[in-house]
Structures are given as structure tokens and as C-alpha cells.
């Protein structure tokens, strides 16, 4: 639905010829940027859209097909040559702060969790956030034995041979205090000067130049031939660790990093240890001032709680530690022309307008698209097609349009469509809030009938956090979906491919980018390997609104097995008050989730989809985090004022011990831990005959 791109059916022969030539040049450029330089200039989705358009034009005008057509090209080799390494301790990411206020909130949150008053001192470290890629180095008895990239956080690529070529990475650690097993983690990066010198050499040799140091460092570390890596000037800063045995040698972050320095690593000289949030922010300002003159790129400042005992108590939320945060530098901005506005339909049917932009470099990355969020935002910005606009990019988030810089007389206003851009042209509706106020989001009302929504749901279904099927990702779903002769239209279809003997259909995918090497059998095997699925993954994969991976895990742990969850969800959809109350009482689950689950399981087509799917699967019962603990599997409620721990800490502790921490007392509650001042919950527990205990008794019980 690009307003400047004609439908293929409407192209004249001359237009088709010109466009095929333009597409061949663009695709060749994108191929080189992606495969050879690890520096893509367009998103995968945009790239695929170009390829599909090329195919469609060739299909309509076969005689115009160029001899060097992009469709004939086999994708460049992907880095398949690295072995995998499973991280003994997951490599996590950091939560972000974008303002001083966020930084203050972080410190307050930490203090609250630890039951400190705002006036209690808390030692923190602040250090630059290096814009490179993280690497985990494993030393056994002081010798480097392996090096792994972060990968998906759980499993990374084995890049040991390449890491050995980096002079900042010692082969042998020096020091009597080096633990027998010591995984040192940090950032691989390239300095700005080395990056520029490398580009000069490339240019002098008539070769392509690179886009930015970060992507170049990533590309260099992931070279299959370590001789190539050795020629690239990579560096490494050590700042964290993974597995350490028999024990951590020091009790603070700052002592650990100082030890890394003595053992032979480079450590960042701008790391400071401070005692207050004001000093923390002052150090942020100092690093921000020095940023431009530093020899390497940084994108923020990382704050960490210094005391490792406190870090342990704080633990993790989802994928990031509670004891650290990255305070990012403000987003970078640039101006460019907005050439078109397209409508994208998401998994939940939301219609999102996307600005197509003339390519512009913002903070080292070429930006060609930006989100416009919704119709109100377009109106608020007053943006029209043809305007020059200011765009902003911050970290990995989607670039945004900030406002109009100038508007030529021939700029065209955008009319928000009243029907879905799919072939069904389903009417678009605006949701109303509880108070009857019209919401800003426009949704296609087609739900599962809408091809865009089905496609987006399938993408979620196969994604890493859901079914995670090797060789079946977003790109492949696009292929499958856009060609109606191919056999995946709904999740269950994935699991019947082999029995329907779809191998021949799959052959059609041969030679399409990303599918060249995948044999049908390999895909069938990968699918078979996922036929047994964990309950939380299944719940997440259903794509119920408001049910993300954390909520899915909570639901899985609470209901234990598929049948219980399914029955509860169906009962809830039927308006069963006990079922509603039971789900609502779960910790971290609010009315929005309960309503969404009810609505999902109240729709006939969803029920059919789920039944077809589950009949193909073996669903594993939810994992109980710690089976040994005396409270594993029990539901605990904390009430009253606790004296030895905060409420958040108590809940986190219960969950660590395999229990479920609930917010309200019901007949499902096993134990109520009541501190002084406990009121209605204690009364209700006593009325229901629920076991109650004091905080001290709780500690006696769990040890
Ligand atoms: S600490 C448990 N410190 O940022 C988290 N990370 O968003 C341990 N990074 O994957 C990470 N500089 O690649 C830490 N001084 C620093 C860092 C840093 C860069 C990267 C790292 C990590 C990402 C998290």
C-alpha cells in the first residue's frame, strides 16, 4: 500500500522494465551491505518486500527478467561454521533509563527492595556502556579454554580461535587469586581511529567501506577465518563474569574489576564508585562531556550496585538484573524527506502508519522508516507526504518522527484508511475505553480471518520465545504465507507438514533467500523436535493479548498443566465467577489479562485453532523451579508489615523457592505469612482454615 508504488497489475511494460533495473541495483547494494559488511541499511522486512516485488513483476513480465536477476542469486554464505556454546550462567541484558529521573527511580527502587531508607548509604558503580558486542571468556586453571558470543543469551557461538587473536585477551591469567573456573565477560569493540584507518585501507584498495565501528567489530569477530579477524584491530574491556568456582574471590563489583586489571585485562578507566545518586548523575555528566573525545563509541553509562551480596538479594526480573541499569545518552536526530506513508497491520489488528523516508544516517545507522504510531499522531505532527521531517533514533527502538521541518506547496495530506489494506478490506474499528471514550488505535476487525493478523500470529508462534523452530522464522513465514499454494495457514499446519507429504511444496522454496540449503527433511526434523512443548511456551505462542512471556510463565506455573489451564480459561470465558477470581488473584495478573484470556477463549475460531494445535502436541507440565524446598508448589500470601524483608523481596524469595506468591487470600492459598498489623487477609485466611505463620516461622520453615 505504498502510495507511490503502483500495484504490479497496473504497471506498463516500460515502468516494469525501469523498476526491475532499479530493484536489481538496490538489492545488490543491500546484499553487499548485509553479507559482506555486517551493516544492513534496510530492515529484513523491507528487504524481503523488495525481493517479493521483484518476483511479482518478473512473474507478470517474464520476458523482462534480467539475465543477472536478483531472484537467480543464491544467498551469500551465512556463518554456519561456528559451533554452539551453552552459557553456564545466562548472558542477560540491561534495563534502560533515559533521564535523571529514571536513574533516581532506579536507586529508590533498589533501596525499597532492600528495605533501606532513602537516607541509608548505598555504594554504586558507574562506567561507560561500550558500544560493541559482549563476549564470555572461560578460563580453567588460569588458561583460556573457550570464548562465546552472547547469542540468544542462553547459547552463543564458539569464537575461541578468533578471540585468541585479540591482544587485550590474555591466554593465561596471572595471579594467585584467580579461581579455578573463571568466566570473564566484557565488550569487544573497535576504536574510532582503527575503524577510520581500516576504511582508508579499504578505499585505497578499491574495496567497500564500512558503516560504523560496532557493526565492523561484530563482523570481524564472526569471521570464519580467524586470519581475517587477526588483521582487524579489535579490543576488549572486562566488566562482568559468568560461572566462577569454587567461589567469587571478592565481595564487590569494584574489587572484581580491579582484580581483572591485575590478571591482565584492560578495564575501563572511567569506572567510578560513588555513594549517592547525585554523584552517580554527576559522573554520568562527566562521561557525557568526554564522550566525543573518547577513542571508542559509547551509548550510555551503566550503574551497578557495588556489593555482590546485595546483588544476590536483588536478583533478576525477566531478562535483566534488578541491581543494574543502563542510563542511555539522549537520542540522535536528523532531518530527511518523508516520501510515503504505508499502513502496517500488526498481530492484534492494530493499523500502524509507517513513514517511508529518504535514507538518512542517524547516530551511525541508516534510517529509511519511522513509526507514526496512529492517525492522531499524524494529525498532531501535521505531517504530509513530501515534507521534510525531523527523525530521532534511540538505541534499538524504532525511529520516530518528531515534527515537520519544512513543507513544500505540493505536499499531500494522508487519509487514514477506513478498511484494512488486505484483500478482504475488512472495516477498521476504533476501540472504546470503559468510559466510552474512543481510543486512538484503529484495528482491523477481521481477527483470525485477516491475512495480516494470521501472518503476524504465525511469526510470533515460531519465534524464539515461543516454538523456536530452527529453519522456520519470520522470513520463511512470509514466503509460506504470501504464496497461497504453500501449506502453512495456521499453527497446526506446521505439525502436519510431514504427514501431508509437503516435501514437494517445500522444494518451491529452494533458492529463495534463506532457503537455499534447507532440505525438507531438515525442516521436518526441526518441527518434530518441537512437538513436545513447555506449557508456558505454548500459552505465550497462542498470542493472547496482554499475555507476554512473563505472564505466560505465571499462568503456566499457576495452573501446572494444559488441561487445568484450558478448563479454567474456558470456564472464565463462560463467565464463571470462581474461575475469574482465581486468575485475578494471581500475582502480577490484572483484569486486563483476565479479560483478554476470557475474550480469546470465547471465540469459536480461536478454540478451533487451539484444539487443532494441541491435538498435534505433547504439552509438558510447568516446570517447578525448586522441587526440594519445603514450600515448592505452594501458594503463599504475605500480609502485614514484614520486618526482615520487604514485600517485593518476600515474593521474589517465595518464587525462587518454587512457590507462587499471590496477592489475595482464597481457598487456593496454602500459607499466609502475616506480619504485625495484618487485617482482613488474616481474618479471611482464618475463616477459610488457611495455615498462617509469622515472618520468623517462615524463615524457620524455609531455612
Ligand atoms: S553489564 C547482567 N557493563 O550492554 C548484565 N554491560 O544491555 C551484564 N555493555 O549485553 C552487563 N558496556 O554487551 C555491562 N560496562 C558495561 C557494558 C555493558 C556495554 C553491553 C553488554 C550487554 C548490554 C546490556
302 lines ligand 1 (CB under 6 A): yes
Can you give the CATH number for the domain in which 690 is found?
A: 3.40.50.10190
End-of-domain residue from the set 328, 353, 373: 328
User: Are residues 546 and 501 located together in one domain of the fold?
Assistant: no
User: Are residues 121 and 215 located together in one domain of the fold?
Assistant: yes
Task: Give the percent of the chain with pLDDT over 70.
Answer: 88
Mutate to test the pocket of ligand 1, among 135, 187, 300 (most ligand atoms within 8 A of CB): 187
User: What is the Cα–Cα distance from 105 to 285, expressed in whole angstroms?
Assistant: 18
Q: Is residue 419 part of a domain?
A: no
User: Are residues 167 and 221 located together in one domain of the fold?
Assistant: yes
Q: Is 141 left (phi over 0), alpha (psi -120 to 50) or beta?
A: left
- What is the residue with the minimal CA distance to atom 17 of ligand 1? 129
Number of H helices, E strands in the chain: 25, 26
Q: Which residue pairs, CB below 8 angstroms and at least 24 apart, start in 513-522?
A: 513/48, 513/51, 513/75, 513/475, 514/75, 514/475, 514/476, 515/476, 515/479, 516/74, 516/75, 518/471, 522/471
Mutate to test the pocket of ligand 1, among 239, 242, 294, 324 (most ligand atoms within 8 A of CB): 239
Given a cut of 90, whether residue 125 has pLDDT beyond it is yes
End-of-domain residue from the set 328, 359, 378: 328
Mutate to test the pocket of ligand 1, among 87, 89, 94, 150 (most ligand atoms within 8 A of CB): 94
User: Are residues 277 and 134 located together in one domain of the fold?
Assistant: yes
> How does residue 250 score in pLDDT terms, banded at 50, 70 and 90?
very high
Rounded to the nearest whole angstrom, what is the distance from the C-alpha of residue 135 to the centroid of ligand 1? 10
Rounded to the nearest whole angstrom, what is the distance from the C-alpha of residue 283 to the centroid of ligand 1? 18
User: Are residues 549 and 484 located together in one domain of the fold?
Assistant: no
> How does residue 366 score in pLDDT terms, banded at 50, 70 and 90?
confident
Q: Is residue 294 part of a domain?
A: yes
276 lines ligand 1 (CB under 6 A): no
Q: Is residue 38 part of a domain?
A: no
Q: Is residue 6 part of a domain?
A: no
Count the domains in the chain: 4
Rounded to the nearest whole angstrom, what is the distance from the C-alpha of residue 129 to the centroid of ligand 1? 7
Domain of 265, in residue numbers: 84-328
End-of-domain residue from the set 479, 513, 529: 529
Q: Is residue 4 part of a domain?
A: no
**In the predicted model, what is the mean pLDDT of residues 186-194?**
95
97 lines ligand 1 (CB under 6 A): no
CA angle 451, 455, 456 (to 5 degrees): 120
Q: Which residue has the cell 585468541?
A: 164
201 within 8 A of 229, measured Cβ to Cβ: no
Q: Which residue has the higher pLDDT, 439 or 442?
A: 442
The pLDDT of residue 77: 32
297 lines ligand 1 (CB under 6 A): no
Q: Which residue has the higher pLDDT, 664 or 56?
A: 664
- C-alpha cell recorded at residue 128: 561507560
Rounded to the nearest whole angstrom, what is the distance from the C-alpha of residue 331 to the centroid of ligand 1? 19
**pLDDT tens sequence across 459-511:** 999 998 899 998 888 888 887 777 777 678 889 999 988 887 776 776 666 65
Phi first, then psi: give them for residue 216, nearest 5 degrees: -70, -40
**pLDDT tens sequence across 214-224:** 888 998 998 88
298 lines ligand 1 (CB under 6 A): no
User: Are residues 141 and 204 located together in one domain of the fold?
Assistant: yes
User: What is the Cα–Cα distance from 490 to 455, expressed in whole angstroms?
Assistant: 9
Q: Which atom of ligand 1 is nearest to the CA of 268?
A: 15
CA 542 to chain centre: 18
Can you give the CATH number for the domain in which 611 is found?
A: 1.10.150.20
**In the predicted model, what is the mean pLDDT of residues 385-409?**
87
The pLDDT of residue 395: 59
User: Are residues 615 and 686 located together in one domain of the fold?
Assistant: no
Strands 133-140 and 143-149: antiparallel
User: Are residues 514 and 555 located together in one domain of the fold?
Assistant: no
Phi first, then psi: give them for residue 683, nearest 5 degrees: -60, -45
- C-alpha cell recorded at residue 611: 484444539
240 lines ligand 1 (CB under 6 A): yes
User: Are residues 547 and 475 located together in one domain of the fold?
Assistant: no
User: Are residues 109 and 213 located together in one domain of the fold?
Assistant: yes
User: Are residues 525 and 543 located together in one domain of the fold?
Assistant: no
Rounded to the nearest whole angstrom, what is the distance from the C-alpha of residue 93 to the centroid of ligand 1? 7
Averaged pLDDT of the chain: 86
**In the predicted model, what is the mean pLDDT of residues 626-642?**
86
254 lines ligand 1 (CB under 6 A): no
Q: Is residue 30 part of a domain?
A: no
Q: Is residue 431 part of a domain?
A: no
> How does residue 360 score in pLDDT terms, banded at 50, 70 and 90?
confident
321 lines ligand 1 (CB under 6 A): yes
Can you give the CATH number for the domain in which 211 is found?
A: 3.30.470.30
94 lines ligand 1 (CB under 6 A): yes
User: Are residues 96 and 216 located together in one domain of the fold?
Assistant: yes
**In the predicted model, what is the mean pLDDT of residues 323-348?**
92
239 lines ligand 1 (CB under 6 A): yes
Q: Most confidently modeled of 264-268, 603-607, 685-689?
A: 264-268
685 within 8 A of 669, measured Cβ to Cβ: yes
Q: Is residue 418 part of a domain?
A: no
The pLDDT of residue 183: 98
- Residue 141: closest CA among 161, 171, 185: 171
Rounded to the nearest whole angstrom, what is the distance from the C-alpha of residue 94 to the centroid of ligand 1? 7
Give the residue numbers marked as catalytic: 129
Rounded to the nearest whole angstrom, what is the distance from the C-alpha of residue 373 to the centroid of ligand 1? 30
**In the predicted model, what is the mean pLDDT of residues 162-176?**
94
Amino acid at each position: 500500500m505504498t502510495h507511490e508504488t503502483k500495484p504490479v497489475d497496473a504497471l506498463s511494460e516500460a515502468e516494469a522494465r525501469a523498476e526491475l533495473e532499479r530493484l536489481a541495483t538496490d538489492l545488490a547494494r543491500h546484499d553487499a551491505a548485509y553479507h559482506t559488511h555486517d551493516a544492513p541499511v534496510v530492515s529484513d522486512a523491507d528487504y524481503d518486500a523488495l525481493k517479493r516485488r521483484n518476483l511479482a513483476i518478473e512473474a507478470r513480465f517474464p520476458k523482462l527478467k534480467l539475465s543477472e536477476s536478483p531472484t537467480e542469486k543464491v544467498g551469500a554464505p551465512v556463518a554456519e561454521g561456528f559451533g554452539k556454546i551453552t552459557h553456564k550462567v545466562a548472558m542477560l541484558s540491561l534495563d534502560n533509563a533515559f533521564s535523571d529521573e529514571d536513574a533516581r527511580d532506579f536507586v529508590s527502587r533498589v533501596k525499597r527492595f532492600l528495605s533501606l531508607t532513602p537516607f541509608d548509604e548505598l555504594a554504586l558503580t558507574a562506567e561507560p556502556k561500550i558500544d560493541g558486542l559482549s563476549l564470555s571468556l572461560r578460563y580453567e586453571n588460569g588458561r583460556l579454554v573457550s570464548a562465546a558470543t552472547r547469542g540468544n543469551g542462553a547459547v552463543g557461538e564458539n569464537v575461541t580461535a578468533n578471540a585468541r587473536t585479540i591482544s587485550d585477551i590474555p591466554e593465561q591469567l596471572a595471579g594467585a587469586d584467580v579461581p579455578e573456573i573463571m568466566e570473564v565477560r566484557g565488550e569487544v569493540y573497535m576504536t574510532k581511529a582503527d575503524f577510520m584507518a581500516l576504511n582508508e585501507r579499504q578505499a585505497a584498495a578499491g574495496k567497500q567501506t564500512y558503516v560504523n565501528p560496532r557493526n565492523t567489530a561484530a563482523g570481524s569477530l564472526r569471521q570464519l577465518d580467524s586470519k581475517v579477524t587477526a588483521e582487524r584491530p579489535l579490543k576488549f574491556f572486562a566488566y562482568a563474569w559468568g560461572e566462577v568456582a569454587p567461589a567469587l574471590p571478592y565481595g564487590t563489583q569494584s574489587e572484581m574489576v580491579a582484580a581483572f586489571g591485575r590478571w591482565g585485562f584492560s578495564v575501563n578507566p572511567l569506572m567510578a564508585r560513588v555513594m549517592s545518586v547525585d554523584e552517580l548523575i554527576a559522573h554520568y555528566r562527566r562521561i557525557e562531556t568526554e564522550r566525543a573525545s573518547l577513542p571508542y563509541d559509547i551509548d550510555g553509562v551503566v550503574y551497578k550496585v557495588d556489593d555482590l551480596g546485595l546483588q544476590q538479594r536483588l536478583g533478576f526480573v525477566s531478562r535483566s538484573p534488578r541491581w543494574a541499569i543502563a542510563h542511555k545518552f539522549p537520542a540522535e536526530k536528523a532531518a530527511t524527506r518523508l516520501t510515503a506513508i504505508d499502513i502496517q497491520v500488526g498481530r492484534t489488528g492494530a493499523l500502524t502508519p509507517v513513514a517511508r523516508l529518504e535514507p538518512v544516517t542517524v547516530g551511525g545507522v541508516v534510517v529509511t522508516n519511522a513509526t507514526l504510531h496512529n492517525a492522531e499522531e499524524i494529525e498532531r505532527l501535521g505531517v504530509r507526504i513530501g515534507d521534510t521531517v525531523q527523525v530521532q533514533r534511540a538505541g534499538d527502538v524504532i525511529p520516530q518522527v518528531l515534527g515537520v521541518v519544512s513543507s513544500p506547496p505540493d505536499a499531500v495530506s494522508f487519509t487514514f484508511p477506513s478498511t484494512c489494506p488486505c484483500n478482504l478490506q475488512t472495516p477498521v474499528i476504533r476501540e472504546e475505553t470503559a468510559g466510552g471514550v474512543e481510543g486512538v488505535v484503529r484495528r482491523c476487525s477481521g481477527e483470525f480471518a485477516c491475512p495480516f493478523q494470521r501472518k503476524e500470529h504465525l511469526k510470533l508462534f515460531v519465534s524464539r520465545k515461543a516454538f523456536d523452530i530452527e529453519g522456520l522464522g519470520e522470513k520463511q513465514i512470509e514466503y509460506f504465507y504470501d504464496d497461497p499454494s504453500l501449506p502453512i495457514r495456521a499453527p497446526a499446519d506446521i505439525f502436519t507438514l510431514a504427514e501431508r507429504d509437503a516435501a514437494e511444496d517445500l522444494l518451491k522454496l529452494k533458492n529463495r533467500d534463506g532457503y537455499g540449503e534447507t532440505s525438507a527433511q531438515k525442516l521436518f526434523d526441526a518441527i518434530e523436535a518441537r512437538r513436545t512443548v513447555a506449557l508456558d511456551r505454548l500459552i505465550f505462542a497462542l498470542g493472547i493479548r496482554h499475555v507476554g512471556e512473563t505472564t505466560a510463565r505465571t499462568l503456566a506455573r499457576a495452573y501446572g498443566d494444559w488441561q487445568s489451564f484450558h478448563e479454567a480459561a474456558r470456564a472464565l470465558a463462560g463467565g464463571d465467577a470462581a474461575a475469574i477470581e482465581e486468575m485475578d488473584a494471581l500475582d502480577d495478573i490484572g483484569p486486563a489479562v483476565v479479560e483478554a484470556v476470557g475474550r480469546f477463549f470465547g471465540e469459536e475460531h480461536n478454540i478451533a485453532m487451539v484444539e487443532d494445535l494441541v491435538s498435534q502436541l505433547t504439552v509438558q507440565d510447568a516446570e517447578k523451579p525448586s522441587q526440594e524446598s519445603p514450600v515448592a508448589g505452594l501458594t503463599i500470601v504475605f500480609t502485614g508489615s514484614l520486618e526482615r524483608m520487604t514485600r517485593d523481596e518476600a515474593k521474589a524469595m517465595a518464587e525462587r523457592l518454587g512457590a507462587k506468591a499471590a496477592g489475595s487470600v482464597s481457598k487456593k492459598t496454602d500459607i499466609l505469612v502475616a506480619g504485625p498489623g495484618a487485617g482482613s487477609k488474616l481474618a479471611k485466611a482464618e475463616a477459610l482454615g488457611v495455615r498462617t505463620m509469622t515472618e520468623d516461622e517462615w524463615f524457620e520453615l524455609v531455612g
